[in-house]
Structure 1
Amino acid sequence: MSQPCNIHGLCGPNGICHYSPKPTCSCPLGYAMRNPDNWTEGCMAIVNITCDDYDKNSMKFVKLPNTDFWGSDQQHLLSVSLQTCRNICISDCTCKGFQYQEGTGSCYPKAYLFSGRTYPTSDVRTIYLKLPTRVNVSNVPIPHSNVFDSVPHRLDCDQMNKSIREPFPDVHKTGGRESKWFYFYGFIAAFFVVEVSFISFAWFFVLRRELRPSELWAAEEGYKVMTSNFRRYSYRELVKTTRKFKVELGRGASGTVYKGVLEDDRQVAVKRLENVREGKEVFQAELSVIGRINHMNLVRIWGFCSEESHRLLVSEYVENGSLANILFNEKSNILLDWKGRFNIASGVAKGLAYLHHECLEWVIHCDVKPENKLLDQTFEPKITDFGLAKLLNRGGSTQNVSHVRGTLGYIAPEWVSSLPITAKVDVYSYGVVLLELLIGPRVSELVEGPSEVHNMLRKLVRMLSAKLEGEEQSWIVGFVDSKLSRPVNYVQARTLIKLAVSCLEEDRSKRPTMEYAVQTRLSADD
């Protein structure tokens, strides 16, 4: 590979990859190598910044020219000043720094520092690293790429694990004797590939003669699914699959969902978008997300149909239906115990964290609520319905999501004030879902009208904040759902209450990220 520094995570968390002229890993100012024998473990902060005792007046920024950390952007702002970008980051205790592009005024506050690299040529990208003022970095060299420099700076990539270096011959030296062995093993590998290909083709043609037509169709379609993630279905196929849309599973803002069975006996959910004009917009938004997601806590999409005015999505069938139907339906014969509710809170957080931080583009759900959380046979949650999801491409223009609206009772205050929409709207909605998992009924049912939900939540958050500051814990027993069978882990319950309160902050900069929510849940297991 000609540019190993383009590999995501090559130098570990907080590490920076640069050329001098060899690929070299270094720690940024204010950070130290975590494990001197293994660069994949990255760097750690010399002085860690936490939200518990955060004071923005004791923070400073260090400029790293021609440097970028890819991904983990908290938001993307266009045409803002450097000072505005700085103020956004310094006001948020979870912000580790920000990338700023001169000229365009693009601002990317960072929740985490991954995939760091510098560029050998002058570049408008600059990272401003947030550090406590007491950290002295005046005499520490700044990592940079210099393709004309024959002496590697600081620690080189020979300290990486062999498994990381081996695929990239230009990262380490190879002698003449090794070259001979390289050609020998290359010949053996080529011969092996040819032999395997021959056997595979022979098996394929024998299979075609022995399989019945329906079995052959299933095998070929299975191959298509594996290679393309999802396939196109004809409208006639889906009419047959759903038995003319006979069994309705549920209705949403963008369409109706029906149960179906494919010819290979897979049970599926077929979502039929009903409003042709609006449905096409929603369909395109969902379709743009489909190819980018694959996570155990997200519903798997098997395919789609786009014929004339018909717009349909084919997804996996999730056996136990929605969380709303189990949690709020008095006729439901399923009662979630504490362990199940705690696991659901964890799974939803992991799914949203994947959408917000692990995709190369931002994916904002915009309509997080119990109706969009399905439970499989083991009650593992799966997030569905990306009808309102919008992708914000890094480096591109921010798509307009001002016309998107979530569900009353779950929407964040910034929807009303027409502020730019970020992933923090999902964090707020997640906080409401957490409260409902804790108390049982729907939050909006605790007040007379939907318009009063925000006022009630403000009062509830203030009340819970005051109780959490005290040492008395007995109030938690009366707060959690009385229908819960005992025992309830009240340490875990307190952790979820504290997380819900932080998610429901009016000031979105004070809300945590979903990655932080996942870590908070994991710490409750310790």
Structure 2
Amino acid sequence: MAWLQILLFFLFITLSYSQKHTIFQGQNLRVGEKLESPNKEFRLEFFSLDANKTHYIGIFYNLPSNMTLFPDDYRPVWVANRNNPIPYASGNNLTLDGEGKLKIIYGRDSFVLLSSYNASRNSSATLHDTGNFVLVELNQTLWQSFDYPTDTLLPGMRLGRNFKTGQVWSLTSWISEDIPASGSFTIAIDTTDVGQLIIRWNESVFWMSGPWEKGTFGNVSRISHYDYVDLSFVSTEDEKYVTYSVNEPQTLSRYAIDVFGFIKERGAAGPFGVCFYKPSPGCVTRESIGCPIRNNSWFERRPNSVSGNRFRFGNNNMSLFDCKRQCENNCSCAAFNSITATGTGCEIWSNVSILGSQSQSDVFILDGERDLVPIRNGSDANVPSTFSPPPASPPAISTDSTPKSSQRTSIKWWIWLIIATGLTLFLGLSSLCYLLRGKGKAKATALLLLNQTANRSKKRKIDKKMSHEVQLYSLDSLAMATNNFSPGNKLGEGGFGPVYKGELPDGQEVAIKRLSTSSGQGLLEFKNEILLIAKLQHTNLVRLLGFCTQGEERILVYEYMLNKSLDFFLFDSNKRELLNWDTRFRIIEGVAQGLLYLHKYSRLKVIHRDLKSSNILLDADMNPKISDFGMARIFGRQESEANTKRIVGTHGYMSPEYALRGIVSTKTDVFSFGVLLLEIVSGKKNNSCYDSEHPLNLIGLAWELWREERALELIDATLIESCSRDEVMRCIHVGLLCVQDYAKDRPSMSSVVSMLMNDTRQPPPPPERPGFFIERGDQRAEISEEVVRYSINGLSISELTAR
């Protein structure tokens, strides 16, 4: 009987576990497990969309077997980490830790934070039958997935805004059908007196519903394909939102914004918002671009292969709709399609001929294009040739290699001659203006762009949230937050200008960075940081909350980092003792994960170009966050390196090929990371001298000690008792690999993370001679403030400073 009791016990445990719908404090949800809502209508689990390369956590409908299903029914209705995919691994888990924070854990203690609330008492996270994943503490809701929708609206969810809390509910499309990262389209409610739904493509209005009248919107004849859907509009002093309900139980219902910007209702094109294929009520007419053929023609999706002159864009983060806009803005474009199997990237054609065979993927062809000449099966067809115009040129498509099978051209040769002549004159005049006006012209252009952004935002209302949750602040609100930028609120000063601590009206503490008029950095860096960091989301990147461009002011608002920057502790003889080895190793790991995200997993391939200890900020738990993206460079997914005449960065952290020849690549950041890693291990600055006879910098000292098998002598004396010798040796080894003289010898950040985690099957290779490891004759005293120098050829170098 004992064995029967044991069997029944394990059976009870298995059944209980399989029906789990709640995670309690201290528990995990591992890969292969799932939460199910009490009535089994929804489930939450790990999933992958790219052949088990990355992991997401999502909520899905549990699909009944007795119902007609659509392909979209199998898609997640909510994705927790849509912009932060994690490496696929069996050890990944969703956890509610001892502090009540909801995290996705991966790798060696790396995580994506979903909820930052601290729960001092028992907390739990439950998946409800509404599809809402709710974190509660003693029956008080701390966080819920319904407040952070992705692309899907479920019954009971809201589109709108809570004016008391500032909470905004909106939907953002996927970047493609197979990648859930935030795409180009959003739908939200206009919270002005008009009270209508608006779909935007980036910042441009794409479709408007018209005002709410008599139970519907002006441009929407019917709300749903189904009779059981009831839409409601709620407008009070505290909040304004749209929601809907269904009056039939056990009904799969969802509205989702598609990658083409229209609303889909359970797999079918919704009854409103369709502007991609044909105009419908509410579609906003775009401005004419001087191409008459575009005004009355629309693109048709066809399962055909095409032949003609082809141009392929280097940015693989473009959505299919972004590709359509590129085609529309090129008067010779007759067809377009995505590049990757996941539906991103862009290629466009001119002088198109349709091949008779069916294609594995659809091609979007200009409907009514007169030059579409079908080619019979078996006939000769020209293979499209990939070509690229000069980087600074618009994507105009050459017609020099027109297929013989095409009997007519849609644009006469003399029109091309006029276009080419006009383009040549335009480029010549532009170049002349740039040479005459120089940097003043660049600054004026940046100022114009920023003022245009500010003016558009002011029309919508000061302090209203913009796309990607970046907010435009008024100067008055920031002056109030910082006690009128008082010296007592000043945290420090860098190349950009002074940084102040502030407190917003809702009690949130922020760091406010104010551009100084004497700053070597300027409007271009300011604009670059706003446009770039708003699209990046990772636990090891500092979060930009907003900005201000009022009058002559240029201000950035960041989340406040309680423990300032890494150099504040690392190079202070008293404070460095607060950095024990576990903390330092966690900082090394976090910075490596942040760089890996920038180089490989973010929507944009980003080279930071100014990675250094003062740009590593530390939160209350001493977790690192990479900051200051004013110098960052965006790369195309297929782009590996580039040349630049304007070299920016900090002396001592720049790689040889970048400092001397202007060659920038991901290996530029790898070199900087290697220097930073050696500084963290040793507590020494790279720019100081450590040998009286042969003035060695830190890289040189580490290299000499490594060759003499005395590498452990590099360890900071305060770490002798707390450090793991194996981890320290591994870090020194990885650091020397990162600072090797030749970029091709340096590891990628993927390899760096694997080596730091000791996940490699083979031991790392021995390091070769590092770059810039001896500095003869440069024994200048420490400089009291950061200086940016611009030479005649555009060189910009920041000297390392003590703070």
TM-score of the two chains, using structure 1 as the length reference: 0.55
Tell me what 2:341 maps to: 117
Tell me what 1:332 maps to: 575
Deviation at 1:365, TM superposition (A): 1.1
Deviation at 1:487, TM superposition (A): 3.4
Query: How does 1:40-189 map onto structure 2 within 5 Å?
Result: 117=341, 146=360
Tell me what 2:482 maps to: 242
Deviation at 1:407, TM superposition (A): 1.0
Q: 1:273-304: per-residue Cα shift (whole Å, max 9, x none)?
A: 11389421111110111221111111111111
Q: 1:484-521: per-residue Cα shift (whole Å, max 9, x none)?
A: 15132111111111110110011101111112212222
Deviation at 1:259, TM superposition (A): 0.6
- Indicate how the Cα distance of structure 1 residues 265 and 401 shifts in structure 2: closer, same or farther if over 3 A, else same: farther
How far apart are the structure 1 equivalents of 2:607 and 2:600? Answer: 10
- Indicate how the Cα distance of structure 1 residues 399 and 286 shifts in structure 2: closer, same or farther if over 3 A, else same: farther
How far apart are the structure 2 equivalents of 1:432 and 1:463? Answer: 15
- Indicate how the Cα distance of structure 1 residues 146 and 525 shifts in structure 2: closer, same or farther if over 3 A, else same: closer
Tell me what 2:757 maps to: 522
Question: What SS is found at the alignment partner of 1:382?
Answer: strand
- Judging by fraction of residues, say which structure has more helix: 1
Tell me what 1:346 maps to: 589
Please say if 1:259 is aligned against 2:494. Answer: no
How far apart are the structure 2 equivalents of 1:517 and 1:268? Answer: 32
Tell me what 1:356 maps to: 599
Query: How does 1:418-433 map onto structure 2 within 5 Å?
Result: 418-433=661-676
Q: 1:176-203: per-residue Cα shift (whole Å, max 9, x none)?
A: xxxxxxxxxxxxxxxxxxxxxxxxxxxx
Tell me what 1:229 maps to: 469
Deviation at 1:116, TM superposition (A): 6.1
How far apart are the structure 2 equivalents of 1:394 and 1:439? Answer: 36
Question: What SS is found at the alignment partner of 2:513?
Answer: strand
Please say if 1:11 is aligned against 2:246. Answer: no
Deviation at 1:228, TM superposition (A): 3.9
How far apart are the structure 2 equivalents of 1:397 and 1:330? Answer: 40
Cα contact 1:12–1:41 (8 A) shared by 2: yes
Question: What SS is found at the alignment partner of 1:249?
Answer: strand
- Indicate how the Cα distance of structure 1 residues 147 and 457 shifts in structure 2: closer, same or farther if over 3 A, else same: closer
- Indicate how the Cα distance of structure 1 residues 460 and 304 shifts in structure 2: closer, same or farther if over 3 A, else same: same
What amino acid does structure 2 have at the position aligned with 1:255?
Answer: G
Deviation at 1:396, TM superposition (A): 9.4
- Indicate how the Cα distance of structure 1 residues 458 and 402 shifts in structure 2: closer, same or farther if over 3 A, else same: farther
Please say if 1:272 is aligned against 2:507. Answer: no
Deviation at 1:249, TM superposition (A): 1.2
Deviation at 1:476, TM superposition (A): 4.4
Cα contact 1:271–1:313 (8 A) shared by 2: yes
Can you give the 5+ residue segments of structure 1 that lack an aligned partner in the other structure?
1-6, 15-22, 24-39, 43-69, 71-101, 109-114, 126-143, 149-220, 468-474
Deviation at 1:243, TM superposition (A): 1.0
Cα contact 1:465–1:501 (8 A) shared by 2: no
Cα contact 2:495–2:521 (8 A) shared by 1: no
What amino acid does structure 2 have at the position aligned with 1:418?
Answer: R
Tell me what 1:301 maps to: 544
What amino acid does structure 2 have at the position aligned with 1:117?
Answer: A
Question: What SS is found at the alignment partner of 1:424?
Answer: helix
How far apart are the structure 1 equivalents of 2:594 and 2:746? Answer: 18
Cα contact 1:444–1:453 (8 A) shared by 2: no
* Matched positions, count: 332
- Indicate how the Cα distance of structure 1 residues 524 and 453 shifts in structure 2: closer, same or farther if over 3 A, else same: farther
Deviation at 1:248, TM superposition (A): 1.5
What amino acid does structure 2 have at the position aligned with 1:345?
Answer: I
Please say if 1:479 is aligned against 2:714. Answer: yes
How far apart are the structure 2 equivalents of 1:391 and 1:458? Answer: 32
Can you give the 5+ residue segments of structure 2 that lack an aligned partner in the other structure?
1-46, 55-70, 72-86, 90-178, 180-308, 316-338, 350-357, 363-460, 762-803
Question: What SS is found at the alignment partner of 1:483?
Answer: helix
How far apart are the structure 2 equivalents of 1:398 and 1:476? Answer: 33
Tell me what 2:445 maps to: none
How far apart are the structure 1 equivalents of 2:748 and 2:673? Answer: 11
- Indicate how the Cα distance of structure 1 residues 307 and 479 shifts in structure 2: closer, same or farther if over 3 A, else same: same
Question: Which has more radius of gyration?
Answer: 2
Provide the identity percentage.
32
Equivalent residue in structure 2 for 1:389, among 632, 640, 646: 632
What amino acid does structure 2 have at the position aligned with 1:354?
Answer: Y
Tell me what 2:529 maps to: 286
Cα contact 1:390–1:399 (8 A) shared by 2: no
Question: What SS is found at the alignment partner of 1:270?
Answer: strand
Deviation at 1:393, TM superposition (A): 4.0
- Indicate how the Cα distance of structure 1 residues 363 and 8 shifts in structure 2: closer, same or farther if over 3 A, else same: farther
Q: 1:129-158: per-residue Cα shift (whole Å, max 9, x none)?
A: xxxxxxxxxxxxxxx96469xxxxxxxxxx
Cα contact 2:641–2:663 (8 A) shared by 1: no
How far apart are the structure 2 equivalents of 1:493 and 1:325? Answer: 22
How far apart are the structure 1 equivalents of 2:714 and 2:684? Answer: 12
Cα contact 1:11–1:116 (8 A) shared by 2: no
Deviation at 1:465, TM superposition (A): 5.4
Question: What SS is found at the alignment partner of 1:259?
Answer: strand
Deviation at 1:269, TM superposition (A): 0.2
Q: 1:329-363: per-residue Cα shift (whole Å, max 9, x none)?
A: 22437521111111110000011111111123221
How far apart are the structure 2 equivalents of 1:497 and 1:344? Answer: 15
What amino acid does structure 2 have at the position aligned with 1:252?
Answer: G
Cα contact 2:464–2:472 (8 A) shared by 1: no
Tell me what 1:490 maps to: 725
- Indicate how the Cα distance of structure 1 residues 104 and 420 shifts in structure 2: closer, same or farther if over 3 A, else same: farther
- Indicate how the Cα distance of structure 1 residues 224 and 12 shifts in structure 2: closer, same or farther if over 3 A, else same: farther
Question: What SS is found at the alignment partner of 2:665?
Answer: coil
What amino acid does structure 2 have at the position aligned with 1:244?
Answer: N
How far apart are the structure 1 equivalents of 2:538 and 2:513? Answer: 20
How far apart are the structure 2 equivalents of 1:458 and 1:124? Answer: 51
Q: 1:387-424: per-residue Cα shift (whole Å, max 9, x none)?
A: 21122245799987431321111111113322421121
- Indicate how the Cα distance of structure 1 residues 124 and 492 shifts in structure 2: closer, same or farther if over 3 A, else same: farther
Cα contact 1:279–1:311 (8 A) shared by 2: no
- Indicate how the Cα distance of structure 1 residues 290 and 463 shifts in structure 2: closer, same or farther if over 3 A, else same: same
Cα contact 2:689–2:695 (8 A) shared by 1: no
- Judging by fraction of residues, say which structure has more strand: 2
Q: CA RMSD in A?
A: 4.2
- Indicate how the Cα distance of structure 1 residues 460 and 107 shifts in structure 2: closer, same or farther if over 3 A, else same: farther
What amino acid does structure 1 have at the position aligned with 2:748?
Answer: T
Question: What SS is found at the alignment partner of 1:444?
Answer: coil
How far apart are the structure 2 equivalents of 1:524 and 1:342? Answer: 16
How far apart are the structure 2 equivalents of 1:371 and 1:277? Answer: 17
Deviation at 1:377, TM superposition (A): 1.4
Query: How does 1:360-509 map onto structure 2 within 5 Å?
Result: 360-394=603-637, 401-447=644-690, 457=699, 460-461=702-703, 463-464=705-706, 467=709, 475-509=710-744
How far apart are the structure 2 equivalents of 1:338 and 1:484? Answer: 6
Deviation at 1:461, TM superposition (A): 3.0
Tell me what 1:172 maps to: none
Question: What SS is found at the alignment partner of 1:250?
Answer: strand
Cα contact 2:312–2:348 (8 A) shared by 1: no
Question: What SS is found at the alignment partner of 1:308?
Answer: coil
- Indicate how the Cα distance of structure 1 residues 391 and 233 shifts in structure 2: closer, same or farther if over 3 A, else same: same
How far apart are the structure 1 equivalents of 2:314 and 2:702? Answer: 34
How far apart are the structure 1 equivalents of 2:649 and 2:758? Answer: 31
What amino acid does structure 1 have at the position aligned with 2:502?
Answer: G
How far apart are the structure 2 equivalents of 1:103 and 1:381? Answer: 45
Deviation at 1:368, TM superposition (A): 0.8
What amino acid does structure 2 have at the position aligned with 1:356?
Answer: H
How far apart are the structure 1 equivalents of 2:640 and 2:714? Answer: 45
Cα contact 1:224–1:231 (8 A) shared by 2: yes
Cα contact 1:299–1:383 (8 A) shared by 2: yes
Deviation at 1:439, TM superposition (A): 1.1
